[in-house]
Structure 1
């Protein structure tokens, strides 16, 4: 994808249409593969708790493409080109503007793949009555503090797993007859408390773990659903992000 982006030679409307013709089928295929693998994974887990479970039926069109955001993919993947033109209008060099567009493209692509995963979890889990809860599973060498905090909590399956753009976390399902409780890893949560205090100097050590709901919340995003963020942030644009004081 990066090679296709870098090799466009221009970032006007004509190049955007050409890029979409080439890239969107590949992106959609990736989303469908993620959805299929996620459904198979959940089916395998469910058979461990219910050997009589029937095979999962998944409408791939309902968990990929336009279904993810309620916005046509052509419009979504126009945004990296808008990013380039906006950067140029602000005086950035062409190389810097193209790099900004590439970053926007990467974030959008990763987010869509993650949305395919979380939408599939919600769709498939609806047909799995013995699964009641989900737990976030961290991936990769580095994870943001928001995901790390969320990974210490359990969620009801009816709630679409909150994400942030570029999130790569997986979801583990938990049987209804075993509620792990709101906090599933208090030791990790306490370590995160320490790091937050060291970094921001705002943590109230007298608070209990459940009070982290006052710091991290799930926001409704118009397209991608619940998004993790700190209370007090406003996501009107990259220049308008405000951390709590």
Structure 2
């Protein structure tokens, strides 16, 4: 029987292999001119789509234990964006060119392009996972699910999401870079209930309130006004929750990313 942990590990291996290979390719493109980007797209897109198919098959295999019989639809699991992949995977070059236009050093511009490429791949892997999970759960007649954290450190938005019951019809990644897994509800849990783990939910909010003086129950606003490419997303993705000890509950740290300055963090403390 496939366990949730072995399923997570298999998905992570697929994603990590792609990230390592694509980063190596990006780093060795050479001049980063149009012909180099054409080569990047021609090499990366088939590998990304193969990774999406692999992850979809792993997901269907996991949910077969609860009666999933959806099968895997290639166009569905690779078409989550509604935009041709050949267009999507030119975006790292656009990010790099924009950085150069802002007079950033070439090395930094290349690094920003690499970060964009990794984000695109991670999100495409996650979309394939959740789109297949949705089909698999629906084929088994399962109408609600729980998000499963994938490690000891997760952003606060994902931790809070893991305490909630979600409807299968609402299944989607909750933020760029999210790697949460999906599982059926705990045995005997009433699917009409919203809160699955009230203790973790309250501990997380209490810890945030203790550190920042306030906690938004909607898990969005910490005063950062956080966006990715002008699209607002939850500020809680900058808070990392580490469950170091069952007795002490979660602890918090800040994610070290360019869109959160030291001054912004200190202003909240």
Whether the aligned pair in 2 keeps the contact of 1:43 and 1:56 (CA below 8 Å) is no
Q: CA contact under 8 A between 1:133 and 1:179: conserved in structure 2? A: no
Q: What does 1:172-191 align with in structure 2 at a 5 Å threshold?
A: 172-174=183-185, 178-179=189-190, 181-191=193-203
How has the CA–CA distance of structure 1 residues 101 and 167 changed in structure 2, closer, same or farther, with 3 Å as cutoff?
Answer: same
Structure 2 contact 157–234 (Cα < 8 Å) conserved: no
1:98-144 CA-to-partner distances (Å, cap 9, x unmatched) read 00111111111000000000111112222111x12110000133211
State the partner residue of 2:250: none
**Residues 175 and 233, structure 2, Cα contact 8 Å, conserved in 1:** no
In structure 2, the CA distance between the partners of 1:137 and 1:92, relative to structure 1 (3 Å rule), is same
Q: Does 1:40 align with 2:61?
A: yes
- SS of the equivalent of 1:192 reads helix
Report the TM-score, using the length of structure 1 for normalisation. 0.79
Partner of residue 25, structure 1: 46
Q: C-alpha displacement at 1:19, in angstroms?
A: 0.5
User: 2:217 aligned with 1:198, yes or no?
Assistant: no
| Counterparts of residues 63-212 of structure 1 (less than 5 Å) | 63-64=77-78, 67-129=79-141, 131-174=142-185, 178-179=189-190, 181-203=193-215, 212=217
Question: How many angstroms does 1:235 deviate by?
Answer: 3.7
Q: Is the partner of 1:171 in helix, strand or coil?
A: strand
Could you tell me how far 1:230 is from its partner in structure 2?
Answer: 4.3
CA gap 1:107/1:151 in 2 versus in 1, 3 angstroms: same
Q: Is the 8 A contact 1:11 1:84 kept in 2?
A: no
SS at match of 1:136: strand
User: CA 1:231 to 1:36, structure 2 compared with 1: closer, same or farther past 3 Å?
Assistant: farther
Instruction: State whether residues 39 and 124 of structure 1, in contact with CA within 8 Å, keep that contact through their aligned partners in structure 2.
Output: yes
Is 1:60 aligned with 2:74?
Answer: yes
Runs of 4+ in 1 over 6 A off after TM superposition: 239-242
**Residue matched to 1:223:** none
Question: Distance between the aligned counterparts of 1:87 and 1:142, measured in 2?
Answer: 31
Unmatched tracts of structure 1, length 5 or more = 48-52, 205-211, 217-228
What per-residue deviation string (whole Å, max 9, x for no partner) do you get for residues 171-228 of structure 1?
Answer: 0113897425211111111111122213332238xxxxxxx3xx23xxxxxxxxxxxx
Following TM superposition, by how much is the alpha carbon of 1:146 offset from its aligned partner in structure 2, in angstroms? Answer: 0.5
- SS of 1:203's partner is coil
In the other structure, the counterpart of 1:16 is 37
In 2, Cα distance between equivalents of 1:97 and 1:15: 16
Structure 2 unpaired stretches of 5+: 1-21, 237-267
The Cα shift of 1:23 comes to: 1.2
